[in-house]
């Protein structure tokens, strides 16, 4: 050990100090390398940005920013359609006797939360190679509705329409699990086949809903459906305050006690974050600012409005042609009154058939209908940009109407149900079902034309990630880009 130390000390003693010229030379060489490397990086960044963001697209985008919005429908509506048909390589469901057992579920929540649970249950059964038992519906939730699956949905149609995808038999267990958004495209398409095709309402519900739609159409060529979602439970859950004093605070505090895990929230902070539903009056003011006139026909889908008729009156004054299922269906609704999910189904049908659908929160009905309307060709769907609108409403008295309306229109760009609002990773699949939406190249495929000729939006995103590399290799293929507002 001593010998080793001696050698080390001898080596150290023999080292010569580095000359300053050598040190400077090394530093200059290093700086040269860094400069060379960063030069290439900047060059590549410029190249890719020029290739990806093409000049004609920049020009088109800049022009579209100042283009007025068609408030009744997207100009791209005819360019998109739902495409959830089975792929040719998606194998048929295995026979029941060879399945890995049975999947029994009980879906919780209201009608549209149940739709989500049922849709995901079918896909889980497919993944597990299991036979699905027709789901049971929760009877113990806030809505206290004892309707069974067969009371709301057409069971025979549900089983037969999914026969090639999943084996389903008619009976039950707890299921409150949601699938991840990032699934195989064929499984995502199966979700769409369940939600948009297999879950069909029973004949009595469908007929009554269609009758309400027909009455709206007889009065007006076009109408707006508004899902107000301004019920006491929603306001309590949001933790927001609407100026009702101690009475409101105490009432909503009592309702909040139904949820054990809700944290204490600051009403002002929640409003700034855009988490508070707009009041019926604010919804009406937003619509008028967007350009809908006083004579526009409104269908209002809602349960018990907090504050009753006094809360609704400002909206009625803004839009006197104000209708609900109670007004249009009258006594025909009596048999459904004890069943909140069946009543919600009527609202669902009318909102789905409306020319414009306006949501007022990010709940299950809003998400599912928004997704379905995208699937049906991006029908105009307005989701209030609550974060920006709340600030505008608070400063409304400081500006004239023209300025206010201009700011509302600006705030709502990107929240009008346009195709380019669907971006990878944005929101839940049920609200943005990109794997099930295709863009037409020339015409809609017929039964004799393969759906694969058109590309789903999720596939378009995947391909666009490789656009720059493909072009640099000399490919002549030119990807289509989504249009902007």
The pLDDT tens digits for 303-333 are 889 999 999 999 999 999 999 999 999 899 9
Q: Could you tell me where the beta strands, DSSP code E, fall in 182-296?
A: 223-227
Answering whether pTM is above 0.85, one says no
Does 455 fall in a domain?
Answer: no
Rounded CA-CA distance 135/155 in Å is: 10
Total of domains in the chain: 2
Q: Are 168 and 277 in a shared domain?
A: no
Q: Are 245 and 284 in a shared domain?
A: yes
Band of pLDDT at residue 67, cut at 50, 70 and 90: confident
Residue that terminates a domain, selected from 168, 200, 232:
200
Domain interval for residue 255: 78-85+204-437
Q: Are 404 and 348 in a shared domain?
A: yes
Rounded CA-CA distance 169/138 in Å is: 19
Residues 6 or more apart whose Cβ sits within 8 Å of residue 51: 467, 468, 471, 472
Q: At what angle do helices 364-375 and 340-353 cross, to 10 degrees?
A: 30
Residue that terminates a domain, selected from 160, 178, 200:
200
Helix, strand, or coil (residue 383)? coil
The count of other CB atoms within 10 Å of the CB of residue 1 is 5
Q: Are 112 and 221 in a shared domain?
A: no
As to burial, measured by CB atoms within 10 angstroms (0-12 exposed, 13-18 middle, 19+ buried), residue 197 is: middle
Rounded CA-CA distance 294/321 in Å is: 8
Any bridge partners for residue 168, and if so which? 132
Q: Are 182 and 215 in a shared domain?
A: no
Q: Are 285 and 145 in a shared domain?
A: no
Q: Is pLDDT of 200 > 80? A: yes
Average pLDDT over residues 408-437: 85
Judge whether 470 and 477 are in contact, CB under 8 Å: yes
Band of pLDDT at residue 482, cut at 50, 70 and 90: very low
Residues 6 or more apart whose Cβ sits within 8 Å of residue 77: 377, 378, 379, 380
The per-residue pLDDT of the chain, averaged, comes to 78
């Amino acid at each position: 050990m001593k010998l080793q130390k001696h050698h080390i000390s001898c080596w150290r003693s023999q080292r010569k100090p580095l000359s300053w010229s050598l040190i400077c030379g090394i530093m200059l060489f290093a700086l040269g390398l860094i400069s060379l490397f960063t030069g290439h990086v900047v060059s590549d960044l410029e190249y890719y940005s020029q290739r990806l963001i093409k000049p004609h697209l920049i020009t088109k985008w800049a022009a579209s920013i100042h283009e007025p919005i068609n408030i009744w429908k997207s100009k791209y509506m005819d360019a998109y359609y739902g495409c959830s048909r089975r792929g040719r390589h998606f194998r048929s469901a295995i026979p029941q006797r060879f399945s890995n057992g049975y999947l029994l579920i009980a879906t919780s929540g209201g009608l549209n939360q149940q739709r989500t649970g049922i849709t995901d249950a079918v896909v889980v059964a497919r993944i597990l190679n299991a036979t699905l038992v027709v789901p049971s519906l929760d009877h113990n939730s806030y809505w206290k509705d004892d309707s069974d699956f067969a009371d709301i949905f057409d069971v025979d149609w549900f089983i037969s329409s999914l026969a090639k995808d999943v084996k389903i038999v008619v009976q039950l267990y707890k299921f409150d699990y949601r699938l991840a958004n990032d699934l195989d495209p064929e499984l995502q398409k199966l979700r769409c086949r369940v939600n948009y095709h297999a879950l069909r309402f029973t004949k009595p519900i469908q007929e009554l809903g269609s009758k309400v739609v027909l009455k709206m159409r007889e009065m007006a060529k076009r109408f707006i459906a508004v899902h107000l979602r301004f019920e006491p439970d929603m306001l309590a859950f949001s933790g927001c305050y609407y100026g009702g004093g101690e009475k409101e605070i105490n009432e909503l505090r009592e309702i909040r006690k139904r949820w054990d895990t809700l944290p204490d929230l600051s009403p002002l902070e929640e409003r700034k974050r855009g988490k508070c539903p707009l009041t019926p009056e604010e919804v009406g003011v937003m619509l008028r600012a967007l350009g809908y006139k006083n004579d526009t026909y409104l269908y209002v889908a809602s349960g018990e409005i907090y504050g009753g008729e006094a809360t609704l009156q400002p909206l009625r004054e803004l839009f006197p042609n104000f209708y609900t299922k109670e007004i249009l269906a009258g006594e025909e609704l009596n048999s459904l009154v004890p069943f909140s999910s069946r009543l919600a189904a009527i609202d669902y049908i009318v909102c789905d058939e409306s020319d414009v659908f306006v949501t007022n929160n990010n709940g299950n009905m809003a998400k599912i209908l928004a997704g379905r309307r995208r699937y049906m060709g991006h029908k105009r769907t307005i989701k209030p940009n609550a974060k920006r609108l709340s600030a505008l409403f608070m400063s409304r008295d400081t500006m004239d109407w023209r300025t206010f309306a201009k700011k509302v229109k600006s705030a709502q760009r990107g929240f009008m149900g346009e195709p380019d609002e669907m971006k990878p990773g944005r929101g839940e699949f049920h609200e943005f079902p990109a794997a099930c939406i295709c863009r037409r190249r020339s015409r809609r495929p017929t039964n004799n034309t393969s759906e694969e000729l058109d590309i789903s939006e999720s596939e378009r995103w995947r391909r666009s990630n490789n656009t720059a590399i493909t072009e640099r290799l000399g490919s002549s293929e030119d990807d289509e880009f989504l249009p902007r507002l």
